[in-house]
Structure formats: C-alpha cells, structure tokens
Amino acid sequence: MDGNYSAEKVVCCFCGEEVLLGEAVILNVQANIQSEEIQRLFCHKNHFTERINSSIPLYLEFED
C-alpha cells in the first residue's frame, strides 16, 4: 500500500468491523528495526486503549 487513502472507511485490525478513517487509530508496524517495510493497520480508539498494557505510557491525546 502506498499510504494514500481515498476510502472513508477502513477495517479495525482487532474486531474486523468498519471504522471511519478520520476516527481510526493508525498503527505503523515494522517487522524489526532493520526492516524497511512498514504495514499500516487501523483500529477503533477504544480497542487500542483497552488492549495496550497500562504500564505503557501513551503520550497521544485520545479525545472522546
């Protein structure tokens, strides 16, 4: 994927349901530090914040 999205909706990587692109959390996944390949995943905000361990500080503001 080239990173250019014209779709208004994407699919949540946790539940498989649609999420509006403008409301989706975007996860850029890299296989390892040497890898140049990156895959972009999308998810609902609540699915991300519910699943990330509470010991991991989040510096982004996840507004409701």
Name the phi and psi angles at 39, rounded to 5.
Answer: -110, 135
- pLDDT tens-digit readout, 18-57: 999 999 999 999 999 999 999 999 999 999 999 999 999 9
pLDDT of residue 5: 62
Alpha-carbon 44 to chain mean position: 8
In the chain, domain spans: 9-51
Alpha-carbon 57 to chain mean position: 16
Residue carrying the six token digits 């510096």: 59
User: Hey, how many other C-beta atoms are within 10 angstroms of the C-beta on 13?
Assistant: 19
